[in-house]
C-alpha cells in the first residue's frame, strides 16, 4: 500500500522552543496583575488542561482534534481584545479571560457546536461587559446633522449605495465597500454592514490603535516595470502579438525576457515581453519530446521561468531558492523541458509574479498528443489566454516596490484581455466546431466563460482529457487553471465571448460565424457524442480505495490580517460571505478598493496551515516517495478574517479531485491547480511520480507574495519500485548552470 510519510523534526517545533518561554512570560505577567489564574472549573472533570499551561502547549505537538488543543497565542492579533478563533485564543487577554474563553470553547464542543469565534468581552459578567465606550457620540451625530440624507435610522444598517461618510478624526465609513460583509475596519476605513453602535465602537478602536501605534503609516512605494533601467536606456520596443513556434525534440530554443511597451486600450504601458511578444511565443511541441530552453533575462530585475503543469525534472522547475538561483539581470539559465502529458501548459516567472507576470511575462505551451485520436475531430483549434490589467490614467496602477500591494484580495483588473488584447475576434463558418484551449493568466480574477449560447462541450482540464465529456453552459476558470472545450457555431451570426462575474455578462470579444459555403462540417457529428476516457477510467478504478481512506494531510486555508478590526458583533458572528450558491461564493470583483490596494504582503498573512500540527506555510515539511499517493484534504475556512476562493497549485505532479464537500467530483481529470471556494472542503489525491523539491501555493499572485506556500520533498522510489507507468519521468541532475547566472538574491 503506498503511504505518506513526514520528516522530523519540524521547523515549527524549533520556532516554538524559542517562543514558548516568551509566551509563558506573557501569561505570568498577566497573572501578576492580580488576575487569579484558576483551573478549568466550569468545564467539569473532563476538562483536559489547566488553563495557565495552555500557552505553553507547543503548536507542533497539537493534534488538531479538539479541546486538547486550545492554546493562547498572544502574538496573534495582538492589538485586538481577547477572543478566540476555533481552538486558538488570541489578542490582549488576562489570565481570567483566557480561562473564560477556554471554558466557552469546551462548552460549545461538548454541545456539538463548532467553536467558531468567542469574544472574552461578551462572556463577562453583567456590568463588566458594558465597560468603557470612550468614543464621543457627538462626532458622528454632527456629521449626520450636516447631511439629512444620511440621518441615522436607529440601529439599522447603512443603506447600500450610499457614499463614504466622514466620521471625523480622519475616519471614514464607506458603506459601498464590502457591502455584503459584516462591519469591520481596515486602516482608517470602516466598511460592511454597520449599525451606528458598531460605527462608534470601531471608530474608538481605530483611534485607540492610532494612539498606541504613534505614527501614521507611510504610503507604499510603487514601481512600474522597467523602473530600474538606466535613465539613458533606449525606449523599449512595442510588444507584438503572440506567434506560434513549433519546437523539435532535441533543439535548444532561446527565450529572452526584455523590457517592452504594451499597447492596451489606447494606452502604452511599460511592460515586459518574452521574445518581444505579449503573451510570449506559443510553443507547439509533441507529447514525449524534450526541448532545451535557454532563458536570457534582460529585464531590470531578477527572474526565473516556471513551466506550469509540466512534470519535468525538478532542476528545471524554475523556483528560485528551491530548484535554482534567481537569474539576475543579464543572467542566463538552461531549462530542459519534457512533455509527459498532452494539453495546454504555460510559463511565467516565479519571482514577484504579481508584477512580472501581470506586466506581460506569460506564455503558453500546446502539447500535441501522441495518439492522433486523443481529441475528437474539429475544424479549428484556438488557444486563448484570459487576463486582466488594472489601468488608471493610461498606466497600470503601480506595483508595491518592496512587497506586493493588493495583498488581501489580489489585483483585480478593470481591463479584460484575451491573448493580451482588449478585443478578441475570429471568423468561422457556421456549422463548424472549434476546440478552444483556455488558460487563466490573471493575478486573481476567476473567469466564467461562455460563447453566447453556442453549444459547448468540456473535453479537457489541466493535464489532458476529462474522464467523461459533458456539455456545459459556462465554464469557471480560476487563475492558472486550463480547460479544453469544443464549441459548435451552428448559426450564421455573431457570437460574443462572454465573461459573467457577479453582475451582467461582459463581452471579451466576438466570433463571427459566416453563412456556410458547404454543408455542416464532419466534426459536427463527433460533437454530438460524449466520449469516456478509458485510461483515466482505469486509473480512477485503481485509485477508488483512496476515496474511503482518511486523509494523509489536512490543510486549512486562512489568513491573518493584523490591521483588520472587527466590531464585537462581527467578531461574535464570524465574517461569512454572502452565501450565493449561484456564484459558488466566489469573489468576482474587488469590493474593498482602497483598502485592498493599500494592503501589503508584508502585513497580510495568507496561510496554508496543517490542521494537526498547526505548522504554517514554510514551516510545513513533508517527505514522500515516488509511487506514493497522498490524500490531501483542503479546508477553506469560512470564518477566517477574509474568506475567499484560492486556486491551490501543486508543482511537478498530477492530482485528481476526489470530492468537494463530500460530493464526488463530476468530471474528474488530471489537474495541477484546484479552486477551493470559501467554506469548501476538497479531497484530492496527489500522485507522486517525479522526485525533487516541489512547491505548493495559492496561484493568486499577491497571496504567494504574502507567504501562502510550502514545499514538499519526493524521494526516488524505494528499492522495490512500482511497475513503470507509461509517462513516469525518472530523476535527472540539475541542468547545466549557465555562465551568467548569479546566486539568488533579488532584494525582494
Q: Which residues bind ligand C2O (CB under 6 A)?
A: 306, 308, 348, 350, 480, 649, 651, 695, 697, 699
Q: Which is nearer to ligand C2O, 484 or 511 (CB)?
A: 484
Q: For residues 16 and 92, what is the distance between their CA atoms, to the nearest angstrom? A: 20
If contact means CB under 5 to 8 A according to the sort of partner, which of ligand C2O, Cu ion, none does residue 625 touch?
A: none
Q: How far is the CB of 660 from Cu ion (least distance, A)?
A: 17
Spatial neighbors of 366 by CB under 8 A, at least 6 apart, are 282, 283, 284, 285, 343, 344, 345, 383, 437
Phi-psi region of 228 (alpha: psi -120 to 50; beta: other; left: phi over 0): alpha
Q: Which is nearer to ligand C2O, 27 or 701 (CB)?
A: 701
If contact means CB under 5 to 8 A according to the sort of partner, which of Cu ion, ligand C2O, none does residue 378 touch?
A: none
Is residue 646 involved in binding Cu ion (CB under 5 A)? yes
Beta bridge pairs of residue 698: 648
**What is the SS3 assignment for 200?**
helix
Q: Which is nearer to Cu ion, 181 or 375 (CB)?
A: 181
If contact means CB under 5 to 8 A according to the sort of partner, which of ligand C2O, Cu ion, none does residue 700 touch?
A: Cu ion
Q: For residues 621 and 320, what is the distance between their CA atoms, to the nearest angstrom? A: 18
If contact means CB under 5 to 8 A according to the sort of partner, which of Cu ion, ligand C2O, none does residue 671 touch?
A: none
| Options 151-159, 247-255, 537-545, 693-701: segment touching Cu ion (CB under 5 A) | 693-701
Q: Which is nearer to ligand C2O, 106 or 649 (CB)?
A: 649
If contact means CB under 5 to 8 A according to the sort of partner, which of ligand C2O, Cu ion, none does residue 695 touch?
A: ligand C2O
Burial class (CB in 10 A: 0-12, 13-18, 19+), 3: exposed
Do 464 and 342 contact (CB within 8 A), yes or no? Answer: yes
Q: How far is the CB of 22 from Cu ion (least distance, A)?
A: 30
Q: For residues 443 and 388, what is the distance between their CA atoms, to the nearest angstrom? A: 8
| Options 54-62, 290-298, 529-537, 639-647: segment touching Cu ion (CB under 5 A) | 639-647
If contact means CB under 5 to 8 A according to the sort of partner, which of ligand C2O, Cu ion, none does residue 140 touch?
A: none
Q: Which is nearer to ligand C2O, 301 or 306 (CB)?
A: 306
Q: How far is the CB of 480 from ligand C2O (least distance, A)?
A: 5
Q: How far is the CB of 620 from ligand C2O (least distance, A)?
A: 15
If contact means CB under 5 to 8 A according to the sort of partner, which of Cu ion, ligand C2O, none does residue 703 touch?
A: Cu ion
How many residues of this chain interact with Cu ion, rule: CB under 5 A? 4
Q: How far is the CB of 703 from Cu ion (least distance, A)?
A: 3
Question: What string marks each residue from 343 to 382 as x (binds Cu ion by CB under 5 A) or -?
Answer: ----------------------------------------
Reference 403, options 15, 746, 76; nearest CA is 746
| Options 46-54, 226-234, 628-636, 699-707: segment touching Cu ion (CB under 5 A) | 699-707
Q: How far is the CB of 634 from Cu ion (least distance, A)?
A: 11
Residue in the shown chain whose Cβ atom is closest to ligand C2O: 308
Q: Which is nearer to ligand C2O, 307 or 546 (CB)?
A: 307
Q: How far is the CB of 361 from ligand C2O (least distance, A)?
A: 12
Edge to edge, the sheet with strand 184-186 lists: 165-166, 172-174, 189-191, 184-186, 564-566
**What is the SS3 assignment for 149?**
helix
If contact means CB under 5 to 8 A according to the sort of partner, which of Cu ion, ligand C2O, none does residue 568 touch?
A: none
Q: Which is nearer to ligand C2O, 62 or 308 (CB)?
A: 308
For the chain, give the longest Cα–Cα distance. 91
Q: Which is nearer to Cu ion, 685 or 698 (CB)?
A: 698
Q: How far is the CB of 674 from ligand C2O (least distance, A)?
A: 13
Is residue 698 involved in binding Cu ion (CB under 5 A)? yes
If contact means CB under 5 to 8 A according to the sort of partner, which of ligand C2O, Cu ion, none does residue 649 touch?
A: ligand C2O
Q: For residues 631 and 659, what is the distance between their CA atoms, to the nearest angstrom? A: 11
Q: Which is nearer to ligand C2O, 194 or 657 (CB)?
A: 657
Q: How far is the CB of 408 from Cu ion (least distance, A)?
A: 10
Q: How far is the CB of 447 from ligand C2O (least distance, A)?
A: 16
Phi, psi for 497 (deg, rounded to 5): -85, 115
Within a 10 A sphere around the Cβ of 561, how many other Cβ atoms?
Answer: 20
Which of 40, 315, 703, 704 contacts Cu ion by CB under 5 A?
A: 703
Do 315 and 735 contact (CB within 8 A), yes or no? Answer: yes
Q: Which is nearer to ligand C2O, 352 or 651 (CB)?
A: 651
Q: How far is the CB of 347 from ligand C2O (least distance, A)?
A: 8
Q: Which is nearer to ligand C2O, 182 or 420 (CB)?
A: 420
Q: For residues 92 and 113, what is the distance between their CA atoms, to the nearest angstrom? A: 25
Q: How far is the CB of 388 from Cu ion (least distance, A)?
A: 17
Reference 702, options 408, 446, 360, 306; nearest CA is 408
Q: Which is nearer to ligand C2O, 16 or 333 (CB)?
A: 333
Q: How far is the CB of 732 from ligand C2O (least distance, A)?
A: 20
Q: Which is nearer to ligand C2O, 10 or 306 (CB)?
A: 306
CA distances from 96 to 38, 55, 89 (A): 8, 13, 12
Spatial neighbors of 504 by CB under 8 A, at least 6 apart, are none
If contact means CB under 5 to 8 A according to the sort of partner, which of ligand C2O, Cu ion, none does residue 642 touch?
A: none
Q: Which is nearer to ligand C2O, 258 or 440 (CB)?
A: 440
177: its cell numbers: 465597500
Q: For residues 564 and 409, what is the distance between their CA atoms, to the nearest angstrom? A: 14
Q: Which is nearer to ligand C2O, 350 or 465 (CB)?
A: 350
Reference 463, options 343, 354, 381, 358; nearest CA is 343
Do 654 and 671 contact (CB within 8 A), yes or no? Answer: yes
Q: For residues 397 and 401, what is the distance between their CA atoms, to the nearest angstrom? A: 12
Alpha helices in 192-250 (DSSP H): 196-213
Q: For residues 260 and 448, what is the distance between their CA atoms, to the nearest angstrom? A: 30
If contact means CB under 5 to 8 A according to the sort of partner, which of Cu ion, ligand C2O, none does residue 308 touch?
A: ligand C2O
Is residue 586 involved in binding Cu ion (CB under 5 A)? no
Spatial neighbors of 656 by CB under 8 A, at least 6 apart, are 540, 543, 665, 668, 669, 670, 671, 684, 685, 687
In the block, cell 504579481 appears at 354
If contact means CB under 5 to 8 A according to the sort of partner, which of ligand C2O, Cu ion, none does residue 421 touch?
A: none
Do 298 and 256 contact (CB within 8 A), yes or no? Answer: yes
Q: Return the residues of window 465-494 that contact Cu ion according to CB under 5 A.
A: none
Which of 190, 220, 700, 704 contacts Cu ion by CB under 5 A?
A: 700
Edge to edge, the sheet with strand 447-450 lists: 424-429, 506-514, 494-499, 447-450, 475-477
Q: Which is nearer to Cu ion, 105 or 351 (CB)?
A: 351
> Dihedral of the CA atoms 169, 174, 180, 183 (nearest 10)?
10
Q: How far is the CB of 350 from ligand C2O (least distance, A)?
A: 6
If contact means CB under 5 to 8 A according to the sort of partner, which of Cu ion, ligand C2O, none does residue 203 touch?
A: none
If contact means CB under 5 to 8 A according to the sort of partner, which of ligand C2O, Cu ion, none does residue 350 touch?
A: ligand C2O
Rg (CA), the chain: 27
Q: For residues 273 and 362, what is the distance between their CA atoms, to the nearest angstrom? A: 8
Catalog residues that contact Cu ion under the rule CB under 5 A.
646, 698, 700, 703
Amino acid at each position: 500500500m503506498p503511504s505518506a510519510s513526514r520528516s522530523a523534526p519540524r521547523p515549527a517545533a524549533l520556532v516554538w522552543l524559542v517562543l514558548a518561554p516568551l509566551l509563558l512570560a506573557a501569561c505570568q505577567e498577566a497573572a501578576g496583575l492580580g488576575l487569579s489564574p484558576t483551573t478549568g472549573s466550569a468545564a467539569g472533570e473532563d476538562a483536559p488542561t489547566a488553563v495557565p499551561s495552555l500557552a505553553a502547549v507547543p503548536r507542533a505537538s497539537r493534534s488538531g482534534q479538539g479541546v486538547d488543543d486550545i492554546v493562547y497565542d498572544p502574538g496573534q492579533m495582538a492589538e485586538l481584545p481577547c477572543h478566540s478563533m476555533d481552538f486558538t485564543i488570541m489578542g490582549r487577554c488576562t489570565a481570567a479571560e483566557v480561562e473564560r474563553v477556554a471554558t466557552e470553547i469546551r462548552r460549545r464542543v461538548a454541545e456539538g457546536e463548532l467553536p467558531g469565534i468567542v469574544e472574552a468581552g461578551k462572556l463577562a459578567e453583567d456590568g463588566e461587559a458594558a465597560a468603557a465606550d470612550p468614543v464621543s457620540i457627538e462626532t458622528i451625530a454632527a456629521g449626520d446633522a450636516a447631511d439629512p440624507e444620511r440621518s441615522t435610522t436607529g440601529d439599522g444598517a447603512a443603506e447600500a449605495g450610499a457614499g463614504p461618510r466622514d466620521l471625523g478624526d480622519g475616519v471614514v465609513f464607506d458603506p459601498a465597500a464590502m457591502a455584503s460583509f459584516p462591519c469591520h475596519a481596515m486602516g482608517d476605513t470602516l466598511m460592511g454592514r454597520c449599525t451606528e453602535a458598531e460605527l462608534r465602537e470601531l471608530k474608538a478602536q481605530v483611534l485607540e490603535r492610532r494612539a498606541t501605534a504613534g505614527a501614521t503609516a507611510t504610503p507604499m512605494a510603487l514601481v512600474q516595470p522597467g523602473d530600474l533601467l538606466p535613465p539613458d536606456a533606449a525606449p523599449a520596443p512595442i510588444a507584438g502579438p503572440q506567434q506560434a513556434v513549433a519546437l523539435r525534440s532535441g533543439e535548444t530554443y532561446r527565450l529572452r525576457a526584455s523590457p517592452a511597451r504594451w499597447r492596451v486600450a489606447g494606452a502604452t504601458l511599460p511592460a515586459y515581453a518574452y521574445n518581444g511578444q505579449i503573451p510570449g511565443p506559443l510553443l507547439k511541441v509533441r507529447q514525449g519530446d524534450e526541448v532545451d530552453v535557454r532563458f536570457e533575462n534582460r529585464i531590470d530585475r531578477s527572474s526565473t521561468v516556471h513551466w506550469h503543469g509540466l512534470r519535468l525534472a525538478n532542476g528545471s522547475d524554475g523556483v528560485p531558492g528551491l530548484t535554482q538561483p534567481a537569474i539576475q539581470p543579464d543572467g542566463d539559465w538552461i531549462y530542459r523541458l519534457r512533455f509527459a502529458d498532452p494539453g495546454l501548459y504555460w510559463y511565467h516567472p516565479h519571482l514577484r509574479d504579481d508584477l512580472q507576470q501581470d506586466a506581460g511575462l506569460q506564455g503558453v505551451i500546446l502539447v500535441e498528443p501522441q495518439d492522433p485520436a486523443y481529441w475528437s475531430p474539429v475544424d479549428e483549434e484556438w488557444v486563448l489566454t484570459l487576463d486582466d490589467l488594472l489601468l488608471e490614467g493610461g498606466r497600470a496602477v503601480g506595483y508595491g516596490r518592496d512587497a506586493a500591494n493588493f495583498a488581501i484580495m489580489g489585483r483585480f483588473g478593470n481591463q479584460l484581455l484575451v491573448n493580451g488584447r482588449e478585443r478578441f475576434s475570429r471568423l468561422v463558418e457556421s456549422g463548424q466546431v472549434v476546440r478552444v484551449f483556455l488558460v487563466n493568466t490573471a493575478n486573481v480574477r476567476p473567469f466564467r466563460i461562455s460563447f453566447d449560447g453556442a453549444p459547448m462541450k468540456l473535453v479537457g482540464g489541466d493535464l489532458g482529457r476529462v474522464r467523461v465529456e459533458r456539455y456545459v453552459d459556462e465554464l469557471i476558470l480560476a487563475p492558472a487553471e486550463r480547460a479544453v472545450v469544443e464549441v459548435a457555431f451552428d448559426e450564421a451570426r455573431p457570437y460574443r465571448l462572454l465573461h459573467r462575474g457577479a453582475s451582467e455578462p461582459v463581452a471579451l470579444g466576438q466570433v463571427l460565424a459566416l453563412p456556410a459555403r458547404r454543408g455542416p462540417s464532419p466534426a459536427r457529428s463527433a460533437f454530438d457524442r460524449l466520449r469516456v476516457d478509458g485510461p483515466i477510467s482505469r486509473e480512477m478504478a485503481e485509485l477508488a480505495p483512496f476515496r474511503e481512506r482518511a486523509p494523509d494531510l489536512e490543510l486549512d486555508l486562512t489568513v491573518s490580517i493584523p490591521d483588520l478590526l472587527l466590531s464585537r458583533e462581527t467578531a461574535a458572528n464570524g465574517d461569512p460571505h454572502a452565501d450565493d450558491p449561484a456564484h459558488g461564493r466566489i469573489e468576482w470583483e474587488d469590493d474593498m478598493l482602497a483598502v485592498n490596494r493599500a494592503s501589503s504582503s508584508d502585513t497580510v498573512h495568507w496561510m496554508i496551515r496543517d490542521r494537526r500540527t498547526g505548522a504554517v506555510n514554510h514551516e510545513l515539511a513533508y517527505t514522500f516517495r515516488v509511487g506514493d499517493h497522498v490524500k490531501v484534504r483542503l479546508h477553506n475556512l469560512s470564518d477566517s478574517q477574509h474568506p475567499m476562493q484560492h486556486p491551490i497549485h501543486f508543482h511537478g505532479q498530477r492530482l485528481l479531485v476526489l470530492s468537494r464537500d463530500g460530493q464526488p467530483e463530476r468530471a474528474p481529470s488530471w489537474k495541477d491547480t484546484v479552486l477551493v471556494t470559501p467554506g469548501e472542503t476538497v479531497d484530492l489525491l496527489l500522485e507522486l511520480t517525479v522526485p525533487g523539491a516541489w512547491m505548493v501555493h495559492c496561484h493568486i499572485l499577491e497571496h504567494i507574495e504574502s507567504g501562502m506556500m510550502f514545499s514538499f520533498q519526493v524521494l526516488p522510489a524505494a528499492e522495490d519500485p512500482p511497475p513503470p507507468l507509461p509517462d513516469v519521468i525518472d530523476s535527472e541532475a540539475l541542468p547545466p548552470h549557465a555562465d551568467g547566472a548569479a546566486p539568488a538574491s533579488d532584494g525582494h
